[in-house]
A and B are shown apart, each in its own frame.
Chain A
């Protein structure tokens, strides 16, 4: 017999926890959070450094402490959850209304749930393949930075002593400091791009504090060692990112950490037929964080990669609330707007790579909608400008914008629709140097 639940949340990381709590508080008690790990908290369990929660709690917490705040809300409210249980399959019923969720627990026991709404909160995983564009066998000693973080912070094991890090994503920067403190010698961080993928504060606190060089426009061109890594060859790259002949230099090391970005974990969303963005690899969502499949919502890193867990919680709280409204309204509408409803598409250009949400249904919008986006390059002294069908809505001066930092703007509904519902809401960057 299949079990029925109103809202099923896939993933018990910060996104899933906040979504579950929010849906529960909005009146849907029949929520269930499914987490494949043996504990709640997601990736935060291994992020033992501080810097979480400044926005939400006005104090600087470590990852596990931040997670604990939400876990205790889940416990106190009695929001139901299952641990050590993985969602293996996600389908729609024949009538398209019910989401059929198959889970497997540690003993291999299968349970099939029939859910009215599903919140996707599966997080992301690290880009491993493709990060190292070098053919051939891989000796031992090459890890993603997140795997090393797990070894060091949850198991107390060091992956190696002489370390080179490829990619300047935040996890790599954090691990440069962590491994240095644990007695390893981190020789350098090489970054293919001419800018860092991580937050500035992490470059200061994790590299500069320890004298670890950040080599921009550099990459690994050769891996040395048969069984165990013995070193890497690093070369400078030109503006087309191709290695410059003659710039190669050998560095002896027993460990290479890869920190080349994160990818939303959307295999399940794909099974369900959720439309995915070719830019973020997360779902295409509307103002209610609802995907192209009605009653399926997405939030956190599975939607788009966040650098700040505070925003993950904020977004997930909104997703939980919208999922509860979906259940309470009892009306099944198309997430892309009813046939007679005018939908505004959010267009991004001029250096803005994507936005979340990317569809706005005016009828469903609250007074204020948060729009998050990222830029594709580093910009200095520019204006972020928004237009509704060509009419300028807002202009915001920015001293610096960088791909590593998520931007957000708050859209006032009354501004958007003051001259009727536009078909297009555009976010762009103007006044780039010299223009």
Chain B
């Protein structure tokens, strides 16, 4: 029997979750104020994921960079590889919010999209 404590990051409530893992790997989650905490605890202990947000260079834009995010959450250990790929690219203004900036980033199968409009100057 194993015991783990973690904090749910799904919303700012930040519930403190207690997870008991029995000898068969069965998990029992307590301390969550909603079902998403249960899902989070199981995933965090088996396959932790995050949404990655960053910026990408823009040419001829009203700002030199545009904010971007991974469209879905990606495995936590891919964060560095994603940031590195984003450093190497640049896009041409105008950029529209929701527009795909990079497909299948770092082999995750997830696209990176713009989170802001950048007008052309």
Tell me whether A155 is interfacial, beta carbon within 8 Å.
Answer: yes
1/0 per position for A183-226, CB-CB distance to B under 8 A?
00000000000000001110111000100000000000000000
Contact A153 B65 (CB under 8 A): yes
> A33 vs B27: C-alpha distance in the bound complex, in angstroms?
52
B78 located at the interface, meaning its Cβ lies under 8 Å from any Cβ of chain A in the complex: no
Chain B residues near A399 (CB-CB < 8 A):
16
Q: How far is the CA of A181 from the CA of B69 in the complex (A)?
A: 13
Indicate which residue in A51, A153, A200 contacts B67 across the interface (CB closer than 8 Å): A153
Contacts A64-B115, A204-B7 given; indicate if A405 touches B65 (C-beta within 8 A).
no
One of A42-50, A91-99, A227-235 contacting the partner:
A42-50
A154 within 8 A of B: yes
User: Closest chain B residue to A41 by CB distance?
Assistant: B116
Q: B76: which of A68, A156, A209 is its contact (CB, 8 Å)?
A: A209
A68 to chain B, nearest CB (A): 6
Instruction: Please report the C-alpha to C-alpha distance between residue A50 and residue B53 in the assembled complex, in whole angstroms.
Output: 7
**A68-B97, A200-B7 given; A205·B64 CB < 8 A:** no
Alpha-carbon separation in the docked complex, A50 to B74 (Å): 14
- Contact (Cβ within 8 A) B9 A156: no
Interface residues of A in 273-324 (CB under 8 A from B): 307-308
Shortest Cβ distance from A156 into chain B, in angstroms?
4
Interface string of B79-108 (1 = CB under 8 A from A): 100010000000000000100000000000
Asked if A155 meets B116 with Cβ closer than 8 Å, knowing A54-B11, A209-B50, the reply is no
- Residue contact B115 to A307, C-beta cutoff 8 Å: no
> Is B65 in contact with A201, judged by CB distance below 8 angstroms?
no
Considering the complex, which residues of chain B in the window 50-83 have a beta carbon less than 8 Å from any beta carbon of chain A?
50-51, 53-55, 57, 63-65, 67, 69, 76, 79, 83
Distance of A308 Cα from B69 Cα, bound (Å): 20
Contact B8 A65 (CB under 8 A): no
- Chain A interface residue count, CB cutoff 8 Å, equals 31
Distance of A61 Cα from B51 Cα, bound (Å): 10
Whether B69 lies near A155 (C-beta < 8 A) is no
Q: Which of B10, B63, B83, B97 contacts A154 (CB 8 A)?
A: B63
Q: Does B12 contact A (CB under 8 A)?
A: yes
B7 touches A65 (CB 8 A): no
Which residues of A are found within 8 Å of B9, using beta-carbon distances?
Answer: 201, 204-205
Contact residues, A418-432 vs B (CB, 8 A): none
A156: which of B8, B14, B65 is its contact (CB, 8 Å)? B65
Shortest C-beta distance, A403 to chain B (Å), equals 14
CA distance A19 to B63 in the complex (A): 28
B55 partner, pick from A45, A48, A50, A405, beta carbons under 8 A: A48
A209–B76 Cα gap in the complex (Å)? 9
Complex alpha-carbon distance, A203 and B6, angstroms: 12
Instruction: State the CA gap A153–B113 with chains docked (Å).
Output: 16
Q: Please, how many angstroms separate the alpha-carbon atoms of A337 and B7 in the complex?
A: 45
Knowing A155-B65, A201-B9, the reply to whether A48 touches B117 (Cβ < 8 A) is: no
Question: Is B115 within 8 A of A153, CB to CB?
Answer: no
- A232-265 vs B, Cβ < 8 Å mask (1 yes, 0 no): 0000000000000000000000000000000000
On chain A, the residues within 8 Å of B83 by CB distance are: 181-182
Q: Are B76 and A308 in contact (CB under 8 A)?
A: no
Query: Could you mark each residue 29-58 of chain B with 1 if its beta carbon is under 8 Å from any beta carbon of chain A, else 0?
Result: 000000000000000000000110111010
Closest A residue to B63 using CB positions:
A154
A4, B23: Cα distance in complex, Å: 74
24 chain-A/chain-B pairs, Cβ below 8 angstroms: A45-B116, A48-B115, A50-B53, A54-B10, A60-B51, A64-B67, A64-B97, A65-B115, A154-B65, A155-B63, A156-B57, A181-B79, A199-B12, A200-B7, A200-B16, A201-B7, A201-B8, A201-B9, A201-B10, A201-B14, A205-B50, A209-B50, A307-B12, A308-B12
12 further A-B pairs in the complex, CB-CB below 8 A; given A48-B55, A64-B67: A48-B116, A49-B53, A65-B97, A152-B55, A153-B65, A154-B65, A155-B65, A181-B83, A201-B7, A201-B10, A204-B7, A307-B12
Residue numbers of A with Cβ under 8 A of B are: 45, 48-51, 54, 60-62, 64-65, 68, 152-156, 181-182, 199-201, 203-205, 209, 307-308, 399-400, 405
Which residue numbers of B lie inside 8 Å of A, CB to CB? 6-12, 14, 16, 50-51, 53-55, 57, 63-65, 67, 69, 76, 79, 83, 97, 115-117
